[in-house]
Structure 1
Amino acid sequence: MTINLRDFDGEYSLTLGAGGLAADAAVTAAGHEPNGYFWEGLVRFAWPDIAERLDFDSEAGMFCAVGSSGDLERLKTVVESVITSPEAVRDIVARAETAGFEFDD
């Protein structure tokens, strides 16, 4: 599992390969596919203050966000804590379902 934060001539992106993550079993148990679109939805729900300032280009096999280096550094920190914690994923998914949020996975 690797989260990559890259600078392409002043354009910053954060990518995460989907699959093979510690939290995948919790995602699947919650009835979702642990793909890039799921992780994008999780970010949009759990951290809307960061997500609203980002552009997303996720795919089935990869989560991808584009934005400022500061926003992406913050995102990297919070996402790292979640992808390694099935409990955190279960909590966020339960809160999302209660709020009526729909994941596009």
Structure 2
Amino acid sequence: MTLLRLIETTPGRYSLLLDAGTTPVDALVEELGHEPNGYFWRGVAEVLVSTEAPTLEGRFAYDPEGGMFCAYGTDRGALHELEALLNVVAADGGRMRRLITDAEASGFEFDD
């Protein structure tokens, strides 16, 4: 299942996009006290990068909005790796539950 899309916005510049509110885990996210908006998904991406893919740190930037998650930059490979990580979490309720629980237990605050 591909919930995100990686597009080339201008030659050599890429954006990874997710329409907030369109994932199979949205109801679970709300049940756990969060709003599955673009800012929440930025938090998910930050947690995934810091805990599972530290080599991605600093290789792209974030520009979320209420209705959309966006990561962007010139490193297509890094954005593609982030896309793969986010697709797994966005489609797997158990995985999302663990991510939120573990992140909050370590003091991470989602900005949703």
TM-score by structure 2 length?
0.88
**What is aligned with 2:84?**
77
Question: Are positions 1:55 and 2:61 aligned together?
Answer: yes
Residues 44-86 of structure 1: CA deviation (Å, up to 9, x unaligned): 0121222432211100100000121010110111111111111
Question: Are positions 1:46 and 2:52 aligned together?
Answer: no
Structure 2 CA distance for partners of 1:78 and 1:96, relative to 1, 3 Å:
same
Answer yes or no: is the 8 Å Cα contact 1:6–1:13 preserved in 2. yes
Amino acid at match of 2:95: A
Amino acid at match of 2:21: G
**What is aligned with 2:99?**
92
**What is aligned with 1:64?**
70
Segments of 4+ moved more than 4 angstroms: none
TM-score by structure 1 length?
0.93
Percent identical among aligned pairs is 41
Q: Return 5+ residue gaps in structure 1 as ranges.
A: none
Amino acid at match of 2:68: M
